[in-house]
Chains A and B, each alone.
Chain A
């Protein structure tokens, strides 16, 4: 599917000699090879100088008769110099932004646009990046989603899909006899994920087991991030939280296991090797 690219060996060796990591050297050597092949194809590459960009812009504007680029028409403070082709210098633009923000000509520190920039269209530049999403000051070790993550996801999907297909090929979903409200079955159980609640029902008043406790647990779960004020995510720093949650899971797991496998007719205690397994998925 993709064209093979032979990395530029010279660049690679030089970077390795400079002590760069294998990964960076490989990426840069590849980029160098692509650049070389593009130049060989006659393409002009790379960031042009601002002067060159300005010249191209002017000739394009002359050809099209103007318009299409942000112009100075709305600047209240600088009505005097309306000429000059309508392109804002970075200083002018910063002044206008400052004026509209009403902070007396001081540019906010987090504007995100270097003053050397010659771009005119940066709407998002008005919003500090931290206002839109999390930004880290440190560069993290990242890899491209394609192919690295998508490949992993694809394999996981195939594995899970085939597992399920094999299971479905050999195990049929249960189907009992027609529903009959007059005939209560001897073994009468909720699906396994509600078995914990049904087991609680054997000990507590239904209002507590069926409504109050589940409600409290859901609220506790939702509140967990707001209650747990410990900023560390390292297991060794959050022994209490991990222990509490493990107890919580073990408690439910135990109830589910008891309800599913150790209860028989009339919801009485039953050993599966004596009365048989009273459990249907």
Chain B
């Protein structure tokens, strides 16, 4: 009987070929010959498209849980998770309402009744959205109490406030989509307030609702805002936010 290859043999053969080496750049921990040295540790973050959001080295105090409480990172994680679960939900949802065509609401019922993992993914999306509002809010508080908005980080704080508003709008536009009583009337309360904008109140409300009152046009409008427009703007501001953290000299502190 031929000798079976050991795990190390297989690993060596998999790693030691042209294709593998073309995928994993020098410094990758998956590449043959990675060693736990300063050089390879530096390359590991420099040569990876995701990790190089980070600098090669970070301030030691920033690693302590009690400095950032990971809140900015968790906000970003929630955003990613909401994108993934949201794409799943989009497969099963049509933003249509109106007498005789209550498709959106029926889709929500079917999602929990007959789509595999439908209810679970919807729950993740719903609780994730609440969690994101909460983490973004706490992140802001921690930045304030650390005085982390002080020069040169003033503008990144402003970008942050815009991100907070975008997060709220993302959450609020999503709230309407199930098209149940809860959604309709929560949104009515909100958009009525916008109608009291000085001078342009009626116009603002008309643009928000796509009409004079909440109806099928509002649902379509808020759906497009929710799944495309606001996420698009948010991604742009997130890019600026992360880029400014680097350019402002990394995380602030130590206190």
> Which residues of A are in contact with B by a Cβ distance under 8 Å?
1-5, 27, 30-31, 34, 132-136, 140-150, 152-153, 156-157, 160-161, 164-165, 167-169, 171-181, 183-185, 188-194, 197-198, 201, 205-207, 209-212, 218, 221-222, 224-226, 228, 230-235, 238, 241-242, 245, 249, 280-281
Contacts and interface: CB of A to CB of B under 8 A. Distances in A.
B41 interface: yes
Interface of B is mostly: helix
A34 B97 CA distance: 68
A173 B133 CA distance: 16
In the complex, which of the residues A172, A185, A225 has the most CB atoms of chain B within 10 Å of its own CB atom? Answer: A225
Q: Which 6 A-B residue pairs are closest in the complex by CB-CB distance?
A: A210-B193, A134-B249, A233-B147, A168-B123, A225-B154, A173-B126
Nearest to A3: B35
A144 B150 contact: no
Given A5-B35, A145-B55, A225-B149, A171 B193 contact: no
A34 to B, nearest CB: 5
Contact of A164 (B44, B127, B150): B127
B63 A175 contact: no
Contact of B57 (A144, A172, A210, A233): A144
Contacts of A245: 141, 144-145
A177 B106 CA distance: 11
Interface of B: 29-30, 33-38, 40-42, 44-45, 51, 54-63, 65, 70, 73-74, 77-78, 81, 97, 102, 105, 108-109, 112, 119-120, 122-128, 130-131, 133, 137, 141, 144-154, 157-158, 161, 165, 168, 171-172, 175, 178-186, 188-190, 192-194, 196-198, 213-215, 246-250, 252-253, 255
B128 A164 contact: yes
Contacts of B102: 178
A144 B60 contact: no
Contacts of A194: 168, 172, 189-190
A178 B161 contact: no
A148 B63 contact: yes
Contacts of A183: 181
Given A172-B119, A178-B105, A188-B189, A210 B194 contact: yes
A1 B34 contact: yes
In the complex, which of the residues A5, A31, A144, A152 has the most CB atoms of chain B within 10 Å of its own CB atom? Answer: A144
Contacts of B65: 152
Contacts of A249: 141
Contacts of B197: 207, 211
B34 A172 contact: no
B29 A233 contact: no
Contacts of B252: 233
Given A134-B248, A140-B59, A228 B150 contact: yes
A181 B56 CA distance: 56
Given A1-B29, A179-B97, A146 B45 contact: yes
Contacts of B198: 207, 211-212
Given A164-B131, A175-B108, A224-B149, A153 B194 contact: no
17 contacts: A34-B35, A141-B61, A143-B63, A144-B42, A145-B51, A171-B123, A171-B127, A175-B182, A178-B102, A178-B179, A181-B184, A183-B181, A188-B188, A193-B168, A201-B193, A235-B255, A241-B147
A162 B196 CA distance: 42
Contacts of B192: 206, 210
Contacts of A147: 41, 44
Contact of B133 (A134, A140, A190, A193): A193
Contact of B38 (A27, A148, A197, A207): A27
A146 B43 CA distance: 9
A241 B146 CA distance: 11
A1 B146 CA distance: 38
Contacts of B73: 153, 156-157
A164 B81 contact: yes
Contacts of B127: 164, 167-168, 171, 173, 281
Given A149-B58, A172-B112, A218-B165, A34 B37 contact: yes
Given A160-B77, A249-B141, A179 B179 contact: yes
Contact of A172 (B123, B125, B181, B186): B123
A185 B57 contact: no
In the complex, which of the residues B56, B63, B108, B179 has the most CB atoms of chain A within 10 Å of its own CB atom? Answer: B63
Contacts of A172: 112, 119, 123
